[in-house]
Structure 1
Amino acid sequence: MTTAASGRPLTPWLLMAPALVIVIVFFGVPMLYMLRMSFNLHEGQKLYTPGFTLEHYGQLFANPLFTGAMWTTVKLALAASVATVIIGYAFALLVWLKPAGWRLIFIGLALCPLLISEIAIIFGWWMFFPKNGLMSYALLSSGLITDKVSLMYTEFAAFVGLIYITLPYCFFILLSILDGIDKRVLEASADLGAGPLSTFIEVLVPLTRTGLAVAFSQSFIWSVGTYATPSALGPDTLWTVGFLIQDQMLGKHNWPMASAFSMILVLGVAAVMVVTRSFMSKRQSFHV
């Protein structure tokens, strides 16, 4: 009995051991190598020269081009994340309230973007946004515009592309939170005289606040780290952190600078995760 009791705390660690080994080997070790690379020197046409310098981190905040790219990345990710959470919440709420038959259909639709590669999705948007694309014809046929319009290679196209990629993850997070709520709270709220809007604001939003924070953080992390979609759909002037990492790595062959950009991105993602986790802890202690 004592042996079982003493061995019980080790059980979760033993169950997580395979996953921890994979994370350490395939993510932890490369990240440490990337951290070390960010302090190396870059001389001439060499990819890097072994050494130690803080020059690359200094350039990140001293060069207006780099700071502008970081600010553009944050703004685009914030806007896309807010829109994704709003759309994902409305979609999850619709599915939560629908019967089982409709629920399977909507979940199937939400899974569709996850079954297609990002490159294929980008090609799809290339058929949708151009002047002769589907969107231009739809707006022209509806009478909303009098001449064909092209939204290709605009910030709006990059914004829509990011929403499309991150929406399924946001939707399933929020749907899982809603599934944990007893639907009878809606009836109880109506019996107490609350209207649909009051029920939504005063009942559903507080009960799903943690899920909203998690969905927002996940959408923000995906939007910040995505490189292909903003580069392929946005204008040439839309320089994001992902684009600069690719440019420094493959274009300028400056591996230390690319690693410094990557470490800043990792630290930003870690900060978002810490804030989200602390928020979740507060909510859990509040309910207890």
Structure 2
Amino acid sequence: MAPALLLSLACFGVPALFMARMSLNGHEPQTAYVAGFTFDHYRRLLSDPLIAGVIWNTVRLAFFASILTVALAYAFALLVWLRPGRWRFMFVGLALLPMLISEIAIIFGWWTIFPKNGLLSYILVSTGLTNDKISLMYTEGAALVGLVYVTLPYCFFILLSVFDGIDRRTLEAASDLGAPPFTTFSEVILPQTLVGLFAAFAQAFIWTIGVYATPLALGPDTLWTLGYLIQDQMLSKHHWPMAATLSMALMLGVAGTMAVIRWLQPTQRSFHV
């Protein structure tokens, strides 16, 4: 593991140290930063209500997107695992499609679906579910759907690998003992995939909490996330220390979330028929 560890330290550890140092520099108008040592930006991080609202929006959106992603990925992975082999290739190929398209192209795709004259509105009116055309563009729901779509494949493959590690004879044993489908799921399948659920949630949360383009392009103007605020401080206001401070807060928040998930994650146990 030494080469991978050294590569990670070089590519991520060293830039993180530079970012931490930048967060302690000063700032004056018309300058990107002034070399110094101050904790003013961290004090602002804890006292500014605007930043607090942005952090809350980011965490809230990432949490609900992660929950929805894990639920859909779990159901999809279970469906693929239970299907015969000839179906598996088609479903896996379907899951790979979002990973073969850039995030910008995906956003343009949603722009053809969510507007008032888009595909979704046309389907709802044609089927009689609504009388008037509706628009979901620039809503939190649109941003949520976009985030779920981007992160779903990663969670799906994590959970599918966990399902592939289950001995199918346990299902046969449960059936022979008279267990109905729901009991088989709750007593046999779910306990053996619980670790995978935590891993999938961690993956989804890390991805969604740092995504910048999708909430900005699909969500309302009031839906500011940490990613948007960092680029605003960096490129628009040319306040590099504040951008670095927000980045450090995001990085430490993700690390803390990972630690909590790791602590709550159950220990994998062996299961035998």
Give the TM-score band, short-chain normalised: over 0.9
Match of 2:62 in 1: 77
Task: Return the match for 2:90 from 105, 117, 120.
Answer: 105
Deviations 1:66-110 (A, max 9, x none): 000101111111100000011000000000001111000000000
Match of 1:261 in 2: 246
Report the AA paired with residue 196 of structure 2: G
Structure 1: runs of 5+ lacking an equivalent: 1-15
Q: Does structure 1 residue 143 correspond to structure 2 residue 143?
A: no
For residues 67 and 271 of structure 1, what CA distance do their matches in structure 2 show? 17
Deviation of the 1:276 alpha carbon = 3.1
For residues 92 and 259 of structure 2, what CA distance do their matches in structure 1 show? 30
Task: Return the match for 1:165 from 150, 153, 175.
Answer: 150
Structure ranking higher in helix proportion: 1
Deviation of the 1:265 alpha carbon = 0.7
Task: Return the match for 2:161 from 169, 176, 196.
Answer: 176
For residues 127 and 55 of structure 1, what CA distance do their matches in structure 2 show? 45
Task: Check conservation: 1:170, 1:215, Cα contact below 8 A.
Answer: yes
Task: Return the match for 2:21 from 36, 41, 48.
Answer: 36
Task: Check conservation: 1:43, 1:49, Cα contact below 8 A.
Answer: yes
For residues 38 and 110 of structure 2, what CA distance do their matches in structure 1 show? 43
Partner-residue secondary structure (3-state), 2:199: helix
For residues 191 and 259 of structure 1, what CA distance do their matches in structure 2 show? 59
For residues 147 and 131 of structure 2, what CA distance do their matches in structure 1 show? 28
* Structural mapping, 1:42-53, within 5 Å: 42-53=27-38
* Structural mapping, 1:207-218, within 5 Å: 207-218=192-203
* Structural mapping, 1:1-288, within 5 Å: 16-280=1-265, 282-284=266-268, 287=270
Task: Check conservation: 1:37, 1:256, Cα contact below 8 A.
Answer: yes
Deviation of the 1:42 alpha carbon = 0.8
For residues 279 and 73 of structure 1, what CA distance do their matches in structure 2 show? 22
For residues 70 and 161 of structure 1, what CA distance do their matches in structure 2 show? 19
Deviations 1:226-252 (A, max 9, x none): 000000000000011111001111111
Partner-residue secondary structure (3-state), 2:35: coil
Deviation of the 1:198 alpha carbon = 1.4
Partner-residue secondary structure (3-state), 1:178: helix
Deviation of the 1:274 alpha carbon = 2.2
Task: Using the TM superposition, name which of 74-83 and 186-195 deviates more.
Answer: 186-195
Deviation of the 1:279 alpha carbon = 4.2
Equivalent pairs counted in the alignment come to: 271
For residues 234 and 124 of structure 1, what CA distance do their matches in structure 2 show? 15
Task: Check conservation: 1:131, 1:148, Cα contact below 8 A.
Answer: yes
For residues 109 and 201 of structure 1, what CA distance do their matches in structure 2 show? 28
Partner-residue secondary structure (3-state), 2:228: helix
Task: Check conservation: 1:210, 1:279, Cα contact below 8 A.
Answer: no
Task: Check conservation: 1:174, 1:215, Cα contact below 8 A.
Answer: yes
For residues 268 and 196 of structure 1, what CA distance do their matches in structure 2 show? 40
TM-score (ref. length: structure 2): 0.96
For residues 179 and 65 of structure 1, what CA distance do their matches in structure 2 show? 46
